[in-house]
Amino acid sequence: MDRKYFGTDGIRGRVGEGQITPGFMLQLGWAAGRVLGKEPGSKVVIGKDTRISGYLLESALEAGLVAAGVDIHLLGPMPTPGIAYLARTLHAQAGIVISASHNPHYDNGIKFFSGAGNKLSDDLEFAIEQEIDKPLVTVSSDKLGKAYRVDDAAGRYIEFCKRTIHWEMHFRGMKVVVDCANGATYHIAPHVFEELGAEVVAIGAKPNGLNINAGVGSTHIEALQRAVIDEQADLGVALDGDGDRLMMVDADGSVLDGDDILYIIACSRIEDGTMEGGVVGTKMTNLGLEHALQRIGLALERTDVGDRFIMARLQENAWLLGGEPSGHIICRDRTTTGDGIVSALQVMAAIYRSGKSLKELRSGMTKYPQLLQNVKLRETSADEIMASKSLCAALREVEAELGGTGRVLLRPSGTEPLIRVMIEGRDGEQVKALTRQLASVVEQLA
């Protein structure tokens, strides 16, 4: 099915342009209501991150849904995984997230979750698209939807997060810096860690509508590194604007990405006897994680980049743990989607259980040097370049030189006119040279 509006993770763009306008959001709300609200008494929960345009888009979506006869439960600022959780526990037909995740404030977007807390299926997204371009027809006055505010939404989600670790665990004596990216976790994450006993220093927790992800959060980890060193903390937790990504920093200021976090959680699950199956990563997952998992008896399977593909493979295999280097970690035995706070709690539980530091827990994995170079396309299409005989020959040459000790990933971007060239291997200098060599071939074809 060719989709006109939905991308790989909902609808996203610059506010005031394309689909990110009040008019389109009105139509989208109405179309979603027509598809998702066919049962009498249907309801949808709506949450948002802290960017200023959230008010605008929320109001337009609300009007469209109400016009379709669907009740609305407004959650206010809420992390993406919190909206998925509340859609499930409030027995809604769907949850709508207004967020552009780690993007700057001038972008925004819409994501949908099913009533079970999973990403909406391709079939339902396609069905919504089929309704969007139809004339908006309001239901009769006596069938209009109503809007309610869920005043205790944050408290419900805080309690859920705390319940994802054993009730006897505590983090007393642990000092943690929590970077909320001036985003949707600002009023939630610090409370979760404090209520579990940690001494918390919060940064990026003063949103003003314009500063989301601005120099803070998981995509600007330097702020957390400085704070951990300055505060002499045991570790740092960095979330992104909508709270579904996690990066961490150890006491020395070293960064742990999603691969490190997956390794620590997998080892902890083996030790406490709760690990089932293997681990799902993506094409971007470092070869070092694959080899480290092999040493502890776990298989790694790779999918395309994107948490929806990871979740699909986890469900297919009946496995429980997956994620990607960017910090989307799915603990399927705890929740239904990537959750930065929940993932951080699993790592801190491993620290509590083992008595080891974060640095010690990640020491069993050695990452291979990895280099990614993006090549902009000028006139030639990505499909033409990828089919080029000269590029195929260059790719075979690079793979032969690596000799089975590394990995090459060559793929078009799904969101930009780019081809991504990624090489990893044991020898960092060789990786740099081969990346430049292969990227130059792409540049000549572009």
Look-up of token digits 């990505």? 382
Closest CA relative to residue 412, chosen from 367, 370, 445: 445
Q: Which of 42, 53, 99, 101 is catalytic?
A: 101
Separation CA 135–CA 27 (nearest Å): 9
Task: Assign 3-class secondary structure to the chain.
Answer: CCCCCCECCEEEEECCCCCCCHHHHHHHHHHHHHHHCCCCCCEEEEEECCCCHHHHHHHHHHHHHHHCCCEEEEEEECCHHHHHHHHHHCCCCEEEEECCCCCCCCEEEEEEEECCCCECCHHHHHHHHHHHCCCCCCCCHHHCCCEEECCCHHHHHHHHHHCCCCCCCCCCCCEEEEECCCCCCCCCHHHHHHHCCCEEEEECCCCCCCCCCCCCCCCCCHHHHHHHHHHCCCEEEEECCCCCCEEEEECCCCEECHHHHHHHHHHHHHHHCCCCCCEEEECCCCHHHHHHHHHCCCCEEEECCCHHHHHHHHHHHCCCEEECCCCCEEECCCCCCCCHHHHHHHHHHHHHHHCCCHHHHCCCCCCCCEEEEEEECCCCCHHHHHCCHHHHHHHHHHHHHHCCCEEEEEEECCCCCEEEEEEEECCHHHHHHHHHHHHHHHHHHC
CB proximity list for 267: less than 8 A, separation 6 or greater: 296, 350, 361, 364
Burial of 214 by CB count in 10 Å (0-12 exposed, 13-18 middle, 19+ buried)? middle
| CB-based contact 334:165 (threshold 8 Å) | no
Separation CA 325–CA 88 (nearest Å): 28
- Dihedral over Cα of 253, 258, 259, 262: its sign: positive
Q: Note if 101 is an active site residue.
A: yes
Q: List the structure tokens of 413.
A: 């971007």
Q: Which residues are catalytic?
A: 101
